[in-house]
């Protein structure tokens, strides 16, 4: 936790989807549940609907769990501080979970080994990097680790145990859209533990709340397009190998350099560990089917089955829902964390070979976490000419080519200009009807368009020029080549 606090010393970093999660929390804290003042660039929600609602849109692209937790803390601390608290607490819970484990260590040496693994895991770049922004992975992983711990320790006849299990499963379901597979796995494990069918049914009804809420949120974005078969290609294999390799290579944990980018080729080692991981996944599933028939559940099995299930749950989304989704380092990180935790728990019990066990732990710590980089972090977002221009204009909301940065720095509702292509469904669309309706809608609701020089506006540039020539916009250029289009209302 101390290292996590030090990594947050300069404030939150604007990485990945951090802006969307924090904006969702901002919406909840303002009483606008399931609404957000920021929409991610890949969203297929109607731009005109956002404009007519003064920049606010349904919160539909991510799980609502993290924004809810941050918003609850925001009642007593500032919004950014609440996000930092969630990050630090999540890393602390992960480390504590690795120490506690699914069973109590039989020797003091095992406890020391678990403690060493916990420190290394909490500084694992692929995990600690996400904890510098506002992303769901740290809290999601903390819930998963404790779920993997609770299942073997479960006292099946105690209602409190099932309640704790239900709370964790609901939380997981609201944090990420893979909640259904987790609920199914837990229900099967309860069956293995000979829990009475009536109690399993009651638990399942409660645990379903998280996945149902997540599904409802997701359909608000996906109901505008039909499911399609996107298939798999060589890039999916490429990113999967890199995602698994990132469990053991610290340089693949820097997601600013590696996330969905092809400039890092998988090494021979990456391919080797990926093949080993696939073989291990098959072995886990085969062993699990045997355990189900015997109504038994070895202590490490829940962690390993959850790890495999999380990876498999992504495949249907890759095939039918999301053309961009890959099994890359961030998606594979929860699977890796569970697998590494399970391996650590197993190694810590092999005290007969303590020298070898300590050597394995030390080797993984050096290679996979780079201890000399534990305090490194991505830079916090700083004011730019774009954000200062928006701040000086103080519009009701803004359409721009850097919406995440604009909302993050100004807290003014922001939305990306349409670029003529839907990444999630891999299809293009005509921006002209949208752009032709924008000037009047912007004028009615107090919005402006602000574009940073060098930004991608090719799909709408011609229509902006036409509307400006027709007097629908007043165009002005600010310092650092910031261009502002203010609607005149002539077309209303």
The 3 state secondary structure assigned to 70-137 is HHHHHCCCCHHHHHHHHHHHHHHHHHHHHHHCCCCCCCHHHHHHHHHHHHHHHCCHHHHCHHHCCCCH
Question: Residues, the chain, total?
Answer: 492
Listed in sequence order, the residues at least 6 apart from 49 whose beta carbon sits closer than 8 Å to its beta carbon are: 57
Please write down the long-range contacts of 456-464, taking CB distance under 8 Å and 24 or more positions apart. Answer: 456/401, 456/419, 457/401, 457/417, 457/419, 458/419, 459/418, 459/419, 459/420, 459/421, 459/431, 460/417, 460/418, 460/419, 460/420, 460/431, 460/435, 463/431, 463/432, 463/435, 463/436, 464/435
The CA distance from 165 to 170, in Å, is: 9
Burial of 383 (0-12, 13-18, 19+ CB in 10 A): exposed
User: Low-confidence residues of the chain, pLDDT below 50?
Assistant: 223-224
What is the per-residue pLDDT for 223?
46
Handedness of CA 125, 266, 98, 79 (dihedral sign): positive
**Domain locations in the chain as residue ranges:** 2-17+62-373, 385-487
The number of beta carbons lying within 10 Å of the beta carbon of residue 13 is: 21
- Compute how many other C-beta atoms are within 10 angstroms of the C-beta atom of residue 215: 15
Helix and strand element counts for the chain (H, E): 22, 9
Q: Which has the closest alpha carbon to 13: 326, 388, 404, 453?
A: 404
Q: Is the Cβ–Cβ distance between 338 and 280 less than 8 Å? A: no
Neighbours of 299 (CB within 10 A): 17
| CB-CB contact of 295 with 288 (8 Å) | no
Report pTM.
0.90
């Amino acid at each position: 936790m101390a290292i996590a606090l030090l990594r947050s010393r300069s404030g939150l970093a604007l990485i990945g989807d951090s802006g969307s999660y924090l904006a969702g929390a901002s919406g909840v804290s303002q009483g606008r549940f399931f609404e957000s003042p920021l929409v991610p660039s890949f969203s297929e929600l109607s731009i005109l609907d956002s404009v007519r609602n003064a920049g606010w849109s349904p919160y539909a692209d991510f799980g609502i769990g993290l924004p809810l937790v941050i918003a609850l803390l925001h009642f007593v601390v500032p919004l950014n501080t609440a996000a930092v608290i969630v990050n630090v607490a999540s890393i602390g819970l992960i480390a504590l979970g690795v120490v506690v484990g699914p069973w109590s260590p039989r020797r003091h040496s095992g406890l020391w080994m678990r403690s060493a693994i916990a420190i290394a895991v909490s500084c694992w770049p692929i995990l600690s990097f996400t904890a510098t922004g506002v992303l769901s992975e740290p809290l999601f992983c903390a819930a998963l680790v404790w779920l993997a711990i609770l299942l073997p320790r479960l006292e099946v006849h105690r209602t409190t145990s099932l309640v704790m299990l239900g709370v964790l499963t609901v939380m997981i379901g609201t944090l990420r859209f893979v909640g259904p597979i987790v609920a199914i796995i837990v229900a099967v494990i309860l069956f293995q533990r000979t829990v009475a069918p009536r109690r399993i049914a009651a638990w399942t009804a409660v645990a379903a709340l998280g996945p149902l809420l997540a599904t409802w949120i997701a359909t608000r974005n996906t109901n505008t397009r039909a499911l399609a078969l996107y298939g798999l290609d060589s890039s999916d294999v490429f990113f999967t190998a890199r995602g698994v390799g990132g469990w053991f290579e610290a340089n693949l944990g820097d997601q600013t350099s590696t996330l969905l980018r092809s400039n890092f080729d998988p090494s021979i080692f990456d391919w080797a560990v990926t093949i080993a991981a696939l073989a291990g996944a098959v072995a886990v599933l085969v062993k699990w089917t045997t355990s189900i028939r015997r109504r038994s559940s070895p202590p490490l099995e829940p962690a390993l089955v959850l790890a495999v299930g999380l990876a498999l749950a992504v495949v249907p989304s890759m095939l039918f829902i999301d053309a961009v989704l890959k099994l890359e380092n961030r998606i594979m990180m929860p699977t890796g964390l569970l697998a590494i935790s399970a391996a650590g728990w197993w190694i810590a019990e092999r005290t007969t070979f303590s020298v070898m066990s300590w050597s394995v732990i030390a080797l993984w710590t050096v290679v996979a976490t780079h201890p000399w980089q534990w305090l490194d972090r991505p830079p916090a977002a700083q004011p730019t000419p774009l954000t200062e221009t928006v701040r000086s204009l103080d519009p009701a909301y803004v359409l721009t080519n850097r919406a995440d940065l604009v909302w993050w720095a100004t807290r003014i509702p922001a939305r990306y200009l349409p670029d003529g292509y839907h990444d999630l469904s891999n299809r293009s669309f005509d921006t002209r009807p949208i752009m032709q309706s924008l000037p009047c809608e912007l004028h009615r609701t107090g919005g402006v368009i602000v574009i940073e020089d060098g930004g991608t506006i090719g799909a709408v540039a011609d229509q902006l020029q036409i509307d400006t020539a027709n007097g629908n916009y007043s165009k002005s250029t600010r310092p650092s080549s910031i261009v502002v289009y203010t609607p005149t209302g002539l077309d209303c």
